[in-house]
Structure formats: C-alpha cells, structure tokens
Amino acid sequence: MNTLETISFKMEDMINGVEVTPETIGFARFNRFNKEVEDFIKGGTRDMQLDEVYVKVEPGSYLLKLAIPLALAQLVQPDVLRMKTGSDLDGMNATRQTIVKSWQRQARRRPDFKISIESAENKFSTVTISSKTDYHQRSENLWVETEKYLTGRVQDMGGKTSANVHLQLDGLSKPLVLESSEEYLRGQKENMLYHDVQVRVLVEQNIRTRELRKIRLIEFAGKPPAYSEDELNQAIKKGTQAWANVENITDWVAEQRGTYDA
C-alpha cells in the first residue's frame, strides 16, 4: 500500500447563529466545499484519479481529513508552504490560487468564515484563511490614491469614537464609510441624513478590481445630477417630429457636413 500523508481542510462558519458542522451544513454548501477541496488537491489536473485518497469527516465545525498518497501530497505541500510564508499567491498553482481567492472573498464578506489547512505529519504548520488575512496576486494589490466624486444616500453621520459618513451607493450591499471630522460635520447647515448627495472624496482605488478603501470625505458637493423624465420625453417627441420627413438621417447629416460621398 502506498505511504499516505494526512492533510486536513477545516471550514468554520456561523449561519443564522448556528455553527456549521457535519450535521448542520446545507447540501449545496457540502457539495461546493468538498469540490473545492478536491480541486485544490488535484490542482487542475482533470484526468487525475483520487481513488487512493481516503476521506474522514469529523465533528467540530466541518472538518475533512484526507489521507493522500505521498507523491500527490508532495505536489500540494509547496503551495501550502508558499501561503505560510506570505500573502502573495504569485507562482502558486493557478487552480489553487482561484480557490484560495474564493475562500478569501467569502471571509471578507462573513467574519465568522475561516478555512484552515493542516498537516497531521507536520509537513507544514497550519495555514488559515480568514477576514484578517489578505491572500492575493501582486497584480490585484495595486492601489493608487485619487480624488473621486461619489453619488449616494447618506444612511448615517457622526460616530461615538470617530466621525464618519455612511454613504449607500446603488449596486452595493453595504454603505461606504467615509472618514471625516467632527468639526466639518458639525458645520454643515443642511441636514444630509437620508438625502441623496454628491461627495468629493480622497480614496485609494485598486486599479484592477476597482475596489475602494481608506475613503476620506473632502466635501459635500451638492445634490446629484438629475433630469426630468417628462422633459426628456418631450425632447424626444420634438426631435422625432422634426426628422419625420428625412428619409435617411445619416446621409442627410453627412451631406450637410460636406462629407457625403456621391
């Protein structure tokens, strides 16, 4: 029988106040996590058979213990060791990169979510992916400081320990938190709370993912640009009537500009 090494994958999470365990995990999530672990082991090799990998599910969160042939374990270990030495995933197997980044995104959305990878034979020390880690490729971590105008609705202002503004943008699940000062917020003559506003901010933006961080409010820049739908419809109606007798608008415009080719 082949020499086996044991690598464990442990998922910790809370769903509606209930710890995820072998007894409470949803079927879809059960399938998804098991497939992610399988792909992590295989590293994208489609025709790799895992018949000699033996699985043991243990209580206490959701824990998979895999007894893996030595030759296969030696393919996995360098990438796990790479994660232990830093958060830079460059040089890691592409499939494992994708899975780690997926786990990292989930951890950022849910603070209770955590993945731990451990070697029973101590081939590497435990690696953890959580809301406190930042596994990424170098190309994903390019941040530049810039000024931007943002439009959204003010959901909250003030703060007990630090002054800030919570601005809800369309398309985002959570409001952006804009750092400010008590003096500036106190000096506002108009009540901004629960109103749509335009703000000018100093922010760091990731040039690849477009994510924003370290957002600092410079000023409230007035109400967001708006248009009257009735006025727009009237303009469309007027334009349609004006062009009603022109058979080919494109040719007519070209002829007026002197660019028409006969």
Closest by CA position to 83, among listed 101, 67, 68, 70: 101
Looking at every residue in the chain, the average pLDDT score rounds to: 85
- DSSP annotation string for 207-223: TTT--EEEEEEEEE--S
Residue of higher predicted confidence among 88 and 249: 88
Q: Are residues 10 and 130 part of one domain?
A: yes
Q: What is the per-residue pLDDT across 181-225, written as a single tens digit (0 to 9) for each?
A: 999 998 988 888 999 999 999 999 987 778 899 999 999 988 876
Give counts: helices (H), strands (E), the chain: 6, 12
Neighbour tally for 217: CB within 10 Å: 22
The domain boundary residue, chosen from 140, 174, 189: 140
What pLDDT, on a 0 to 100 scale, did the predictor assign at position 261?
Answer: 52
Q: Are residues 119 and 35 part of one domain?
A: yes
- Residue corresponding to tokens 């040089």: 91
CB 190 within 8 A of CB 183: no
What pLDDT, on a 0 to 100 scale, did the predictor assign at position 137?
Answer: 84
> Structural domain tally of the chain?
2
Q: Are residues 147 and 125 part of one domain?
A: no
CATH number reported for the structural domain that contains residue 208 in this entry:
2.40.50
Is residue 227 domain-resident?
A: no
Q: Are residues 123 and 24 part of one domain?
A: yes
pLDDT score of 260 more than 70: no
Confidence class of residue 252 from pLDDT cuts 50, 70 and 90?
low
Q: Are residues 133 and 52 part of one domain?
A: yes
pLDDT score of 126 more than 80: yes
Confidence class of residue 253 from pLDDT cuts 50, 70 and 90?
low
Highest mean pLDDT: which of 53-57, 147-151, 235-239? 147-151
Work out the average pLDDT over 115-139.
89
Confidence class of residue 262 from pLDDT cuts 50, 70 and 90?
very low
Residue 161, amino acid = T
Q: Are residues 69 and 148 part of one domain?
A: no
Q: Are residues 114 and 37 part of one domain?
A: yes
pTM above 0.75, yes or no: no
The domain boundary residue, chosen from 140, 156, 173: 140
Closest by CA position to 22, among listed 55, 60, 53: 60
Highest mean pLDDT: which of 127-131, 205-209, 245-249? 127-131
Confidence class of residue 45 from pLDDT cuts 50, 70 and 90?
confident
Q: Which helix (H) or strand (E) holds 11?
A: strand 4-12
Alpha helix (H) ranges present in 86-164? Answer: 94-109
pLDDT score of 129 more than 80: yes
Residue of higher predicted confidence among 6 and 231: 6
Q: Are residues 96 and 133 part of one domain?
A: yes
Q: What's the token pair of residue 201?
A: 């901010």
Q: What's the token pair of residue 152?
A: 């959204």
Is residue 228 domain-resident?
A: no
Residue 81, amino acid = L
Q: Are residues 162 and 112 part of one domain?
A: no
Residue numbers of the domain that contains 203: 143-220
- Residue corresponding to tokens 């596994």: 135
Confidence class of residue 250 from pLDDT cuts 50, 70 and 90?
low
Highest mean pLDDT: which of 38-47, 87-96, 248-257? 87-96
Q: What is the per-residue pLDDT across 47-89, written as a single tens digit (0 to 9) for each?
A: 666 776 777 777 768 989 888 888 888 999 999 999 988 888 9
Does residue 246 sit in helix, strand or coil?
coil
CB 203 within 8 A of CB 167: no
Dist CA 196 CA 153 (whole Å) = 4
